[in-house]
Structure 1
Amino acid sequence: MFPFIAGSTDLYLIPGDPVTNVRLPRMFNAVFERFDIDAVMAPAHVATRDFAVFVKAAFLAKNVRGMVIAPPHKPLAVTLLDGAGLFGRVAGSVNVVKRIANGELEGDLFDGEGLLGALDRYNIPFRGKRVLILGAGVSAAAVGVALAEGGTVNGAEHIAFHDISAGKAAGVAAKLDAFFDATTIAVDSSDPAGYDLVVNATPLGLKEGDALPLDVARMEPHAALFDILLRNQPTPLVRAARARGLNAQAGFEMLIQQMPYYLDFFGHTAAAHGVRQDARFLRELIYPQSMAAEIDAPLRYHSDSVA
């Protein structure tokens, strides 16, 4: 049901280019309705050249309470902020922005927390493990920051980035290595041998016919795979890993696990608590029909199967 909108309704926007496939408006509006919050989220199709003007102008409206930033604008948003959280500063991008009491804009990045929450839900070990991240873009950097931030006890012990642009992977790895204790390097191969976890943060798999980003046959028998893509799931990569009996998961849970962080950031603490307690209604909302049976999939996995 479309939310009732009145003069008292708070407005949240999600600017991107394009915005035809964004799922967060449906998710936020479902949360607002469920927890009786007088607010609505709407997508806004904004070209890159207009993004800075749009953000500054939109926040002149007193009832615009915040934005969730969709691709490709996450790195651009950082330059418009008066302050940003650690993850946003290190990764060089943010996915949420709000105006605080003094009128300044603050932002943060929760992609990484979303990934860690998804890994825990699927009983995929990452603490003290060796991780290969495929890609070195905005999402890959956010994943790396989250995995490295916990140190070698609560985070990964060794993180390797591989990208078709070797210099890009080296740059991300060097930046993380300077901030965190985890060993963070760039590698010139996507060979997954020797790694406990592989995270696909490349666009390979969005289109039928895409080459697999790695040779699944080379993955260790105990290894796990997480593919952050939200379209065309389960991707050929996920299917290939599952065919080997590996714990391989799609990116939907990463989005689910970010929701409480978004809500806390925007001041909706009761709703954040409620979603942490029970997010099944959101899973039912965004999982494609072909994956409906996987909404409760974590119940089928046990940590000893991937230890």
Structure 2
Amino acid sequence: MTLSISGSTQVYLIPGDPVRNVRLPRMFNAVFERFEIDAVLLPMQVPRRDFAVFFSSAFLARNVRGMLLAPPHKALVIDLLDGCGLIGRVAGSVNVVRRTDDNRLEGDLFDGEGLIGALDHYRIPFRGKRVLVLGAGVSAAAVGVALVEGGEVNGAAHVAFFDTSAGKAAGVAAKLDAFFDADVSAVDSNAPEGYDLVVNATPLGLNEGDALPVDVARMERHAAVFDILLRGQPTPLVQAARARGLNAQAGFEMLIQQMPHYLRYFGHEQVARALSKDADFLREHIYPPAMQAEIRQPLRYHAP
């Protein structure tokens, strides 16, 4: 890819710590090139302690139009914004910030839309189903919001949160119930019996030797797994579930499905519509070689 950068190029930044493995620059810059948008997304290595100063200073540059947020900064930006979408407020984090025409800084969170799009892409039922969310951090909260808000057609999911910190899971469940009057709860076990879908929103699987976040052997025969992790895919959890014949999918598709929302948020409506119809060129950018075949055969792990 050859980027042509000039004085008229609009700049988007993605601060994180670390940023070595972030995938969004490759994806956004591929989109900018393909659709001839004079813009660039640049990764920025920013320690947590310096983030507030960096954030405010970066937007002093008038050609900085927005940011994507990588960990650990998603939860740090809320108090620095002029406005924030509902899902971002509920989850307590955002992953995208834009500068408006009247110079306000607005943020929102599209992790949930990415999850719903990925589940629909893989034809994993969740509407009206029982879902066990493993973890109760920022990502888990976004997942929970999406599951209870994304099921209007056939009913919201019935969501249970499990975290090794019981109070943390109860806090997320209570927050969702307060905002949405949803069927959510905190459970004291990660036992998967009775659930139709298990979503891993913990870091288990990032490091060699990590225990599985759930006992796959105890899952229902019709159940599915979605592991939101990006590094190390397919993770031991995904591999174990697939070995049982379950529909188990990696987190890459969440990024793909968020892209139209990001582009629309930044004002590129036509590009967002085009990506909603065909984003395989982005999948080729971020799916590892071992998983490239899944771009063409995304449903081969469906359980009977």
TM-score after normalising by structure 1: 0.96
Query: Could you tell me which residue of structure 1 aligns to residue 2 of structure 2?
Result: 2
1:133 is displaced (CA, Å) by: 0.2
Query: Could you tell me which residue of structure 2 aligns to residue 100 of structure 1?
Result: 100
Asked if the contact 2:245/2:301 (under 8 Å) is kept, the reply is no
Structure 2 gaps, min length 5: none
- Deviating more after overlay: 133-142 vs 293-302: 293-302
Query: Could you tell me which residue of structure 1 aligns to residue 198 of structure 2?
Result: 198
The AA in structure 2 aligned to 1:156 is: A
Query: Could you tell me which residue of structure 2 aligns to residue 236 of structure 1?
Result: 236
Query: Could you tell me which residue of structure 2 aligns to residue 298 of structure 1?
Result: 298
1:102 is displaced (CA, Å) by: 2.0
The AA in structure 1 aligned to 2:297 is: A
The AA in structure 1 aligned to 2:287 is: Y
Query: Could you tell me which residue of structure 2 aligns to residue 280 of structure 1?
Result: 280
Query: Could you tell me which residue of structure 2 aligns to residue 169 of structure 1?
Result: 169
1:14-34 deviation per Cα after TM superposition (whole angstroms, max 9, x unaligned) = 000110010000000000000
1:225 to 2:225 alignment? yes
1:259-298 deviation per Cα after TM superposition (whole angstroms, max 9, x unaligned) = 0000000011111111111100000000001111111232
Q: Describe the SS at the equivalent of 1:161.
A: strand
Asked if the contact 1:128/1:152 (under 8 Å) is kept, the reply is no
Q: Describe the SS at the equivalent of 2:106.
A: strand
Query: Could you tell me which residue of structure 2 aligns to residue 113 of structure 1?
Result: 113
Query: Could you tell me which residue of structure 2 aligns to residue 270 of structure 1?
Result: 270
Query: Could you tell me which residue of structure 2 aligns to residue 254 of structure 1?
Result: 254
Query: Could you tell me which residue of structure 1 aligns to residue 146 of structure 2?
Result: 146
The AA in structure 2 aligned to 1:36 is: E
Within 5 Å, give how 1:12-31 maps onto structure 2: 12-31=12-31
1:151 is displaced (CA, Å) by: 5.4
The AA in structure 1 aligned to 2:136 is: A
1:245 is displaced (CA, Å) by: 0.6
RMSD: 1.3
Pair 1:247–1:129, CA change in 2 (3 A):
same
1:154 is displaced (CA, Å) by: 4.4
1:112-158 deviation per Cα after TM superposition (whole angstroms, max 9, x unaligned) = 00000000000000000000000011110000001111456545331
The 2-side partners of 1:2 and 1:97 are apart by 26
The 2-side partners of 1:39 and 1:158 are apart by 41
The 2-side partners of 1:43 and 1:31 are apart by 16
The 2-side partners of 1:278 and 1:153 are apart by 24
Asked if the contact 1:151/1:182 (under 8 Å) is kept, the reply is no
The 2-side partners of 1:133 and 1:152 are apart by 19
Asked if the contact 2:133/2:162 (under 8 Å) is kept, the reply is yes
The AA in structure 1 aligned to 2:92 is: G
Query: Could you tell me which residue of structure 2 aligns to residue 135 of structure 1?
Result: 135
Identity, % of aligned positions: 76
Asked if the contact 2:116/2:150 (under 8 Å) is kept, the reply is no
